[in-house]
Amino acid sequence: AGPVENKSEAAMSELVPEPRQKPVVPMKPMGINASLLGYIGIDTIIEQMRKKTMKTGFDFNIMVVGQSGLGKSTLVNTLFKSQVSRKSSGWNREEKIPKTVEIKAIGHVIEEGGVKMKLTVIDTPGFGDQINNENCWEPIEKYINEQYEKFLKEEVNIARKKRIPDTRVHCCLYFISPTGHSLRPLDLEFMKHLSKVVNIIPVIAKADTMTLEEKTEFKQRVRKELEVNGIEFYPQKEFDEDLEDKTENDKIRQESMPFAVVGSDKEYQVNGKRVLGRKTPWGIIEVENLSHCEFALLRDFVIRTHLQDLKEVTHNIHYETYRAKRLNDNGGLPPMTVETEENHESNL
């Protein structure tokens, strides 16, 4: 019986895997919080970085999507307090509604306090204006992916540029019509398709057409519909880096989104102050007054608190997803075109 027992024990030892060893945790280096005996100047690294970025400047590409007449151009002009939209840059009043969605990008250089920003406003005239709007988001998705492709081709070049021009869409403001009822199927379809490739910020346009109660109810209804349909808008929950981010972003997701805004590039005198606003028979709606609309919240969110994060999420999440899929499908590199072959030959 002895040898049989030994055989069965040997068989069991083969079946039962050996317990996995815990990875060795490296010891913390000694004196990690060493007290300095004098000033070294490590803190100047922030100033060094600031000087460097001030010289190169910043890129920011913002896309506006929505039906005609929702005040997209006016809102973008209000957002950057300058004439940056397509309509204010030589738009023809007799221009007809395009039969298909067109993409028009207009670049500007805006400077404030010595900081230069190359702003590109991407407009989408013709979106949602037809009788049949089936798949009208496809040209927009194609444009967004084309910008990723352009960046990828520059990145995989043997002799690549020190600073690759960034035309990728960092932010998409999606304008919702202030119906007060619910989102249209087109709104849901667009956001469902595009939320995977770009940072979408939903905005309720022309919020002055609703009462305060209607506005609150409509915002709640829109949030509920987006949740039920599994549509994630920016800032996405899974990209919160720490507890501070999560707390701040949860407040935005649960209270502010979607921003109910009013845009205006006209100034009026109110209590001795010049304010941007819209004149109505019963008074002036002040664009930057939080008790009138949420424009100030949207501006602070897009420009003053989350602009850098919008760029980082675009690069680290949306672009990386596109890049990984593209390289994976292609076995490593984008296909060589005649142009890239010529580039390689000239580089060699």
Confidence of residue 20 (pLDDT cuts 50, 70, 90): low
Integer Cα distance of 148 and 157 in angstroms: 15
Range in 10-14, 242-246, 321-325 the model is least confident about: 10-14
* Cβ atoms < 10 Å from Cβ of 154: 13
Residue 63: its pLDDT value, please? 92
Indicate if the pLDDT at residue 5 is higher than 90.
Answer: no
H helix or E strand, kind and range, residue 74: helix 72-80
* pLDDT, tens digit (0-9, with 9 covering 90-100), for 38-54: 888 888 999 888 888 88
Indicate if the pLDDT at residue 257 is higher than 70.
Answer: yes
Residue 320: its pLDDT value, please? 94
Residue 149: its pLDDT value, please? 93
Which has the higher per-residue pLDDT, 331 or 168? 168
Residue 178: its pLDDT value, please? 87
Share above pLDDT 70 across residues of the chain, in percent, rounded to a whole number: 81
* pLDDT, tens digit (0-9, with 9 covering 90-100), for 142-180: 999 999 999 999 888 888 888 888 999 999 999 998 887
> Dihedrals φ, ψ of 158, to 5°?
-65, -50
DSSP per-residue string spanning 7-38: HHHHHHHHHSPPPPPPPPPPPPPTTTTPPPSS
Residues 6+ positions from 97 with CB-CB distance below 8 Å: 68, 125, 126, 129
Indicate if the pLDDT at residue 94 is higher than 70.
Answer: no
CB 143 within 8 A of CB 172: no
Which has the higher per-residue pLDDT, 165 or 87? 165
Indicate if the pLDDT at residue 348 is higher than 60.
Answer: no
Integer Cα distance of 45 and 49 in angstroms: 6
Q: What is the mean pLDDT of residues 333-338?
A: 54
Integer Cα distance of 296 and 88 in angstroms: 22
- In Å, how far are 57, 138, 155, 234 from 165, measured between CA atoms? 12, 24, 10, 24
Residue 314: its pLDDT value, please? 93
Confidence of residue 334 (pLDDT cuts 50, 70, 90): low
Q: Please give the domain boundaries of the chain with CATH numbers for all domains.
A: 61-85+99-125+139-155+164-264+290-330 (3.40.50.300)
Range in 247-256, 280-289, 320-329 the model is least confident about: 280-289
Mean pLDDT of all residues belonging to the chain: 80
- In Å, how far are 158, 202, 261, 269, 282 from 285, measured between CA atoms? 56, 22, 11, 12, 9
Helices 320-329 and 138-155: crossing angle in degrees, nearest 10, is 80
Nearest to 85 by CA among 95, 77, 97, 96: 77
Confidence of residue 295 (pLDDT cuts 50, 70, 90): confident
* pLDDT, tens digit (0-9, with 9 covering 90-100), for 23-82: 555 555 555 666 777 888 888 999 888 888 888 888 999 999 988 888 888 888 888 877
Residue 241: its pLDDT value, please? 79
Integer Cα distance of 70 and 93 in angstroms: 16
Indicate if the pLDDT at residue 244 is higher than 70.
Answer: yes
